[in-house]
Amino acid sequence: MSNNKRTAAPSPEDALRSARLLARADAAVMALFATRAYELGWTVRSKLSGILDHVTLSCDAGHTTQVTPVTALHPELGSTIVPAPAGNAFLMAAGITSLGAFSMALKECQHCAGKRWEEAARASFAAYAIETDLRILADAASPNGYPAKEVRCLYGHEFTIIAMNPRTPGRVPGSGYGLTMGSDGADDPCATCRGVSRTPKLVEFRRRAREQNVMILDVMSDRIAQTLRLCCVAGHLTSVGINTGLKRELLCARCSTASVRPEPTVYYVVTDGAMVKPGISSGDGRGRLDTHRSEHGLGQVRRLITDLPVGVARDVERYVLDCLVGQGIRPVMGSEYFDAAHIDRVLELADGWFAANLPNSPWTVAV
């Protein structure tokens, strides 16, 4: 006696269900397709005959495409369709009970979407340049024909950038514009700054210079072998290779051989009519002021306060810079060079700090 169980063969009704239900499902897909096409700006240019038949669509700009209603609703749904013997009725694979489970795959016209993105990205490029501290220098040409600009980053690197904001939402995937960043626009637009930030020795050198109030007078590249000119807080001018400087306690060679490390006791504000720089120094401050005059033409001394108690110069410098940043005033170069339009605000902040904390401290103003 055999233990094999026999199962009844499915009836035609079980396999096909009813022709009426299948026709309803077919009509539902066609209606869903037509509605979605209209919402995305497409016009149906051919007769809607069956869910597996090709349909021609066109956008308002005249671009055309051909799709099938089923695969337009979901790319994989077409492979699950089993045509039924009668008319346009169909069956779905086992386990699929509702079209609502499928995401809509029909997209708007990609060419038109790309054009809209380009227009929005061009319009918001100026705001993007402000957000990423880029100074626009001049118009430029790009190999791919898109508008471009010559720009300078805060650290003095000059380069050409496509004049479109990569952070603009809605960018068509796979579209290449020659942008210097990823599609999300999260990285620094300056390739040299990205190279510096990803090189530990360069990051450490820049950090030490900032902590020791050493000005880096040259534009810093992304090469470790670079030799840089420096001006320390005492006004000493020196040149040092990055590897050599990192082996010293102090970046300034003259300060490294001195018995006492100079502490900043001077606060100053200098300008040339285009930029203004607040800063600190030691001694009488003249060495550092001479460097500003020779390197950047900042020869107008608006404030020079000397013989400050230890720590005061750093405190007022930090206060002024923090207030400027908090008020949305961004530097035009480095972290302490601002547009001269803000000189009154720089002086007001410094004078206010001294009036509140050291009311008897005199200052001299060079004319």
DSSP codes of every residue in 268-288: EEEE-SSEEEEEEESTTSHHH
Of residues 32 and 22, more confidently modeled: 32
- Calpha distance 46→39 (Å, rounded): 18
Region 345-359: mean pLDDT is 92
Confidence at residue 203, expressed as pLDDT on a 0 to 100 scale: 94
Q: Which two tokens stand for residue 17?
A: 């269900």
Residue-wise pLDDT tens digits, 137-187: 999 988 888 899 999 999 999 999 999 998 888 777 666 777 766 555 567
Of residues 228 and 88, more confidently modeled: 228
DSSP codes of every residue in 34-103: HHHHHHTT-EE-S----TTS-EEEE-TTS-EEEE-HHHHH-TTGGGG-EE-SSTT-EEPPTT---GGGSP
Confidence at residue 182, expressed as pLDDT on a 0 to 100 scale: 56
* CB neighbour burial string for 242-252, b if at least 16 within 10 angstroms, e if fewer: beebeeeebbb
Of residues 184 and 88, more confidently modeled: 184
The answer on pLDDT for 8 being more than 90 is no
The answer on pLDDT for 265 being more than 50 is yes
Q: Which two tokens stand for residue 47?
A: 């007769």
The answer on pLDDT for 40 being more than 80 is yes
Q: What are phi and psi of 109, to 5 degrees?
A: -60, 115
- The neighbouring-strand residues paired with 227 are 241
The H or E element containing residue 13 is helix 12-16
Confidence at residue 81, expressed as pLDDT on a 0 to 100 scale: 47
The answer on pLDDT for 237 being more than 60 is yes
Mean pLDDT score of the chain: 82
Q: Where are the alpha helices (DSSP H) in 137-197?
A: 191-197
Confidence at residue 158, expressed as pLDDT on a 0 to 100 scale: 93
> Can you say whether residue 283 is alpha, beta or left, with left for phi > 0 and alpha for psi between -120 and 50 degrees?
left
Confidence at residue 114, expressed as pLDDT on a 0 to 100 scale: 85
Confidence at residue 231, expressed as pLDDT on a 0 to 100 scale: 93
Confidence at residue 310, expressed as pLDDT on a 0 to 100 scale: 87
Q: Which two tokens stand for residue 200?
A: 């530990």
- Number of CB atoms found within 10 A of residue 94's CB: 7
Q: What's the residue count for the chain?
A: 367
Of 222, 216, 220, the residue nearest 194 (C-alpha): 222
The proportion of the chain whose per-residue pLDDT surpasses 90, expressed as a percent, equals 40
Residue 202's pLDDT band (boundaries 50, 70, 90)?
A: very high
Lowest mean pLDDT among 17-26, 126-135, 258-267: 17-26
Confidence at residue 31, expressed as pLDDT on a 0 to 100 scale: 84
Confidence at residue 104, expressed as pLDDT on a 0 to 100 scale: 57
Residue-wise pLDDT tens digits, 267-282: 999 999 899 999 999 8
Residue 304's pLDDT band (boundaries 50, 70, 90)?
A: very high
